[in-house]
Structure 1
Amino acid sequence: MFPLRDFIRTCRSRLFRRQAVDSTGVDLTGGRLLTAVLVTRRLLARSGVVNEAEAMVGVLLPPSVAAVIANTAIGLSGKATVNLNYTLTDERVEKCLTACAISHVITSRQFMKRRPFELSAKFVCMEDLARQATWWDKLVCGLTAYGLPSFLLDRMLGLQRTKSDDLMTVLFTSGTTADPKGVMLSHGNIAASINAIRRLYRTRPDDVTLGILPFFHAFGYSAALWLPFGLNMAAAYHFNPFAAKAIGELARKYRVTVLFATPTFLKLYLRRCHADDFPALDVAVVGGEPLDASLAKSFTEKFGVAPAEGYGTTELSPWASVNVPAHRTISALEPAYKGGTVGQPAPGVQIRIIDPETRAELPTGKQGLLLVRGENVMLGYLNQPDKTAEVIHDGWYDTGDFANIDEDGFITITGRQHRFSKIGGEMVPHAAVEDAIADLIRTNTDDEVRQVAVTAIPDPSKGERLIVVHTPLEHTSATDIARKLFDSKHFPAIWIPKPADFIEVAEIPVSSLGKLDLGELKRIAMRRNADTSSAHIHPPENS
């Protein structure tokens, strides 16, 4: 069943029970949420925001009930949604609007006060739409929401005509390795990911999801927006995932049981939230970046919940694999959780590990390039068929990640292809060098602040050269670090960066989810004169 039909049925099953709340004080039952969506759909059509000439409508809202209403109302109007990344510059958001031919963006006055934008599209504020609703709109939509059977509501909205490959959304990649690309995801793509989790995880009647991940990110679009309806759960939203205190209060007040987050946010909540802020937490699913074993252990000890790591990409809608805690698995016949891995392939997903050069399939246990095939694989990149052809071959999506799979089918991600360099014929992992340097320069216990990152630039003699981007060194120097790495004998000499290839920055550039901004790292390295031996300050650009 497609996500919009899931939405209707979950709201109908929770007509008088809480369905969605947020930290602004909005608290809606399933019936009231469905009514609000139907009213908004009616107003979007009447105001001309939804029209025959435009296939997509933009949304510029943080995780909130308003964002849920906007996305579902647009979807029920037969249009594709484009949740815009509000952490980007106006110029880069404008490029997204142009690519999608968007002329209307739904937002709110409250949000625009917090983050003003100047864009060519017309802004439509949710508060203004709400004031346009008449008593007749509310009466008709209320009677429809509470009284019309779901199958008739489907037909009234034309949902029975929805096809698997109909475009549902365009999500722009984070742009951490290149300019953002518009990933076209269909109703079938999102349904495949939701169905996979539905077949793996057992839910409870009292489950409440914490919605903190932004909807412009594939993890948030799936886990925070559509999974609560696909799995018949309530959801509690907060607009800022970094606001640990407010999130702790929200989780305690509404007794959140399910948390979807990145390791960066787990680390933040571990440091700044009390154990009793998550009194009902029962499962934490983590993705977006590698989960460190020590972080998983500390989180488990404090909150009593072992994080279950999963894996996916925007192009995979996003779920490709996930661990499932034993007490939540639907099938107890086979193990579904293994620490240090990203789980087994999700139902309906096939994986293949290949040699990146010969493209030959590798045996179990061997590290290689990870390919994925299934109904979750995107339609393609918007207006970029050449880019699509580069990553999809015979239905197999090239993730650009290195991985291996063990005899039980559990996948371990060993690194990004972008995070390896071929130096003197040898593959050098950036993360390994990065971790070793981080241990040498760590001067505080605030693990939330990244102090070092490794990238690479072309080198005429060795192919590539490692560049170390770091925050100010307080009690050591680049020369000392290079010497200690050499003396430790942990790495071959070719892995060790030269002191002249250390660059000092005010802060390490990261994305809105706390991931390294690899594109900005590369730009910092390329801007620096390759021959200089002095360190310079390069404040990271807003990306």
Structure 2
Amino acid sequence: MSDDTLQETLIQTCRRFSDQLAMADSSGAKVTFGEALAKCIFLTGRLRSIWSDQEKVGILVPPSVGGALLNWAALLMGKIPVNLNYTLSQVGITSCIEQCGITDVVVSGKLMKRLKLEIPVRVHLLEDLSKKPSLMEKLRVGLLEKCTSANGLLKLLGGSQSGSDDLATIIFSSGSTGQPKGVMLSHRNLICNVEQVSGVHSLVQSDRMLGVLPFFHSFGFMATIAGPAVAGFGCAYHFNPMEAKVIGPLSEKHGVTIMIATPTFLQFYLRGLKPEQLKNLRLVVVGAEKLPKHLADAFEKKFQCRPLEGYGSTECSPGVALNGLETNQSGSVGSLLHDMEAKVVNPDSGIELPIGEAGLLKVKGPNVMLGYLGMPDKTAEVLQNGWYDTGDIVRLDEEGFLWIEGRLSRFSKIGGEMVPHGNIEETLNELANQNEQIFAVTGVPDEKKGERLVVIHTANEELLDEVLKKFSDAPIPNLWKPKPGQFLSVPKLPYLGTGKLDLKGLQQIAES
């Protein structure tokens, strides 16, 4: 296990693969690892006065070459980059800024204008910071590039004081079930997780990853910020994960071999991408939501590459389990990653359960977070003796595959029985037989039975009638079957910027 920091690893990788593609994006920007290091050194000079008195630094930039370089520059300076979630409400973004004590945020001017965001601190445009360097700045970059060791360069830039177990970044939870919490991830957490995933799928320098997950997403940061720095593969970025008309040509141009997505995003690619645009694709990893079999089948038929389910959480950097190309159990989320331990316990008693019995998943490993920023009580609730309480109900079979039953928070207690929202959603969506999610389930308080199920859906009347006719005969308990009056039609289901269902949004729709 390496004791290096991300910035040490980054310098080594940039020098080792100096002539190889590091990153490109849909604007046409394209840099090699050698060029990326030079541009990062240049940015450190312009950021020095802005971030001089700050440990945690704010970044509000979508997936792009500029955004990736900005994160790398922050690491080289020994700063802790905090990528702010621009899909949160104004209150949510302000909360993240205040929790970190951030006074200056570097932003994308185009993004700010499009989203009409107002940030209660000093704002600096990345577009201005990236303008043409002066002669003195060019000389500075040239001199610093000649430093013989990574540590020597980091001493001059400010990043030499960090250790592998020190804080590398803070990823704020999306707030799908509550107020955003700052998940503190160390250099070791992130480097280990890149290596754990690579242990299953051999991430190599010739790979090209599609970088559409936002940097404020834990998988986006691990795979497309830390990933190239650790494994030396290239990334092709685009800021909108659902814009197939741009993603298709971008993927074809740069020969994308790896795609990380959610089932929601795959639906857009299935409809909008041509097979030749993904002709180099060798690996598709899907998470955040259950992957419907019909969607996986349709994607494989069109693109000759079957999506593989994985499982993780922000608190685990995020990877926990992953299906392999040769070791794939359809419907499961795969086997535990290397160096991870797991136990399944009774949610009430905490007693470990036998293999095959469903219970609460707890995991332990080098990728488990340091804790929640400024929240020792909440940290203690979920992290005890190195074991992280995932809040997920799972089964672990004899072959070591994990099967997700649902979030503990996504169960309704009806008449004393636990009713899983996910199983009902899966049944309804399978009956609908569409390539996108039509039904989503939530629960609202009920005076008689404790809770009542509500199904939020986008089906037209004809499709809804067809599904309801079949639903009465579905092989699930009658208690799990909402009545027709519990179905509520909406124009579209609410999603977070990470591609996950907005669970708070669902509940608000149901309660209104």
TM-score bracket, shorter-length normalisation: over 0.9
Q: Which among 375, 384, 389 is matched to residue 393 of structure 1?
A: 384
Residue-by-residue CA offset, 1:343-381 (whole Å, 9 max, x unaligned): 211112111111112211111111111111122111222
The residue that corresponds to 1:332 in the other structure is none
The residue that corresponds to 1:322 in the other structure is 322
C-alpha displacement of 1:240: 0.9
The residue that corresponds to 1:221 in the other structure is 221
The 1:462–1:40 alpha-carbon spacing in structure 2 relative to 1, beyond 3 Å, is same
* 1:426-441 → structure 2 map (5 Å cutoff): 426-438=417-429
Q: Which among 441, 448, 463 is matched to residue 461 of structure 1?
A: 448
Distance in 1 (CA, whole Å) between partners of 2:435 and 2:469 is: 25
The residue that corresponds to 2:481 in the other structure is 496
* 1:297-336 → structure 2 map (5 Å cutoff): 297-326=297-326, 336=327
Distance in 2 (CA, whole Å) between partners of 1:285 and 1:410 is: 16
SS for the counterpart of 1:458 is strand
| Matched-pair contact (CA < 8 Å) for 1:353–1:370 | yes
Q: Which among 451, 474, 493 is matched to residue 438 of structure 2?
A: 451
SS for the counterpart of 2:222 is helix
The 1:60–1:192 alpha-carbon spacing in structure 2 relative to 1, beyond 3 Å, is same
C-alpha displacement of 1:30: 1.2
SS for the counterpart of 2:131 is helix
C-alpha displacement of 1:451: 3.0
- The residue type equivalent to 2:370 in the other structure is L
SS for the counterpart of 1:503 is strand
The residue that corresponds to 1:43 in the other structure is 46
The 1:140–1:100 alpha-carbon spacing in structure 2 relative to 1, beyond 3 Å, is same
Q: Which runs of 5+ in 1 are unaligned?
A: 327-335, 528-543
Per the normalisation by structure 1, the TM-score is 0.88
| Matched-pair contact (CA < 8 Å) for 1:213–1:241 | yes
1:105 aligns with 2:105: yes
Per the normalisation by structure 2, the TM-score is 0.93
C-alpha displacement of 1:340: 2.3
The 1:132–1:303 alpha-carbon spacing in structure 2 relative to 1, beyond 3 Å, is closer
Q: Which among 330, 338, 353 is matched to residue 344 of structure 2?
A: 353
C-alpha displacement of 1:313: 0.5
Q: Which runs of 5+ in 2 are unaligned?
A: none
C-alpha displacement of 1:489: 6.0
The residue that corresponds to 2:360 in the other structure is 369
The residue that corresponds to 2:7 in the other structure is 4
Residue-by-residue CA offset, 1:155-178 (whole Å, 9 max, x unaligned): 444545322332211111111111
* 1:99-498 → structure 2 map (5 Å cutoff): 99-131=99-131, 133-145=133-145, 148-157=148-157, 159-326=159-326, 336-438=327-429, 442=432, 447-448=435-436, 450-471=437-458, 473-475=460-462, 485-486=471-472, 488=473, 490-498=475-483
SS for the counterpart of 1:20 is strand
C-alpha displacement of 1:276: 0.2
| Matched-pair contact (CA < 8 Å) for 2:494–2:502 | yes
- The residue type equivalent to 2:50 in the other structure is V
Identity of aligned residues (%): 41
The 1:77–1:501 alpha-carbon spacing in structure 2 relative to 1, beyond 3 Å, is same
Cα root mean square deviation, aligned: 2.2
Residue-by-residue CA offset, 1:385-444 (whole Å, 9 max, x unaligned): 22222212222111111111122212111211122222222221212223444456x4xx
SS for the counterpart of 1:497 is coil
- The residue type equivalent to 2:243 in the other structure is A
Q: Which among 8, 12, 16 is matched to residue 13 of structure 1?
A: 16
- The residue type equivalent to 1:253 in the other structure is K
Residue range with higher mean Cα deviation, 346-355 or 498-507: 498-507
C-alpha displacement of 1:325: 1.9
- The residue type equivalent to 1:408 in the other structure is E
- The residue type equivalent to 2:451 in the other structure is E
- The residue type equivalent to 1:20 in the other structure is M
Distance in 2 (CA, whole Å) between partners of 1:82 and 1:460 is: 43
The alignment of Structure 1 onto Structure 2 pairs a total of residues equal to: 509
The 1:235–1:404 alpha-carbon spacing in structure 2 relative to 1, beyond 3 Å, is same
Distance in 2 (CA, whole Å) between partners of 1:267 and 1:298 is: 10
The 1:482–1:475 alpha-carbon spacing in structure 2 relative to 1, beyond 3 Å, is closer
- The residue type equivalent to 1:516 in the other structure is L
| Matched-pair contact (CA < 8 Å) for 2:80–2:169 | yes
- The residue type equivalent to 1:388 in the other structure is T
Distance in 1 (CA, whole Å) between partners of 2:138 and 2:78 is: 21
C-alpha displacement of 1:12: 0.9
- The residue type equivalent to 1:49 in the other structure is I
Residue range with higher mean Cα deviation, 490-499 or 209-218: 490-499
Residue-by-residue CA offset, 1:311-339 (whole Å, 9 max, x unaligned): 1111111011112224xxxxxxxxx4333
- The residue type equivalent to 2:7 in the other structure is L
SS for the counterpart of 2:189 is helix
C-alpha displacement of 1:447: 3.0
1:33 aligns with 2:25: no
C-alpha displacement of 1:493: 3.0
C-alpha displacement of 1:269: 0.8
The residue that corresponds to 1:513 in the other structure is 498
The residue that corresponds to 1:82 in the other structure is 82
SS for the counterpart of 1:284 is strand
Distance in 2 (CA, whole Å) between partners of 1:164 and 1:204 is: 23
The 1:22–1:185 alpha-carbon spacing in structure 2 relative to 1, beyond 3 Å, is same
Residue-by-residue CA offset, 1:36-77 (whole Å, 9 max, x unaligned): 1011111111xx22123x221111111001111111111221
- The residue type equivalent to 1:514 in the other structure is G
Distance in 2 (CA, whole Å) between partners of 1:163 and 1:189 is: 12
C-alpha displacement of 1:28: 0.8
C-alpha displacement of 1:494: 2.2
SS for the counterpart of 1:491 is coil
Residue-by-residue CA offset, 1:506-536 (whole Å, 9 max, x unaligned): 3221112332111111222233xxxxxxxxx
SS for the counterpart of 2:504 is helix
Distance in 1 (CA, whole Å) between partners of 2:99 and 2:154 is: 31
The 1:110–1:492 alpha-carbon spacing in structure 2 relative to 1, beyond 3 Å, is closer
| Matched-pair contact (CA < 8 Å) for 2:44–2:157 | no
The 1:273–1:383 alpha-carbon spacing in structure 2 relative to 1, beyond 3 Å, is same
SS for the counterpart of 2:461 is coil
Distance in 1 (CA, whole Å) between partners of 2:498 and 2:464 is: 30
The 1:202–1:475 alpha-carbon spacing in structure 2 relative to 1, beyond 3 Å, is closer
- The residue type equivalent to 2:461 in the other structure is E
SS for the counterpart of 2:462 is coil
Distance in 2 (CA, whole Å) between partners of 1:62 and 1:79 is: 19
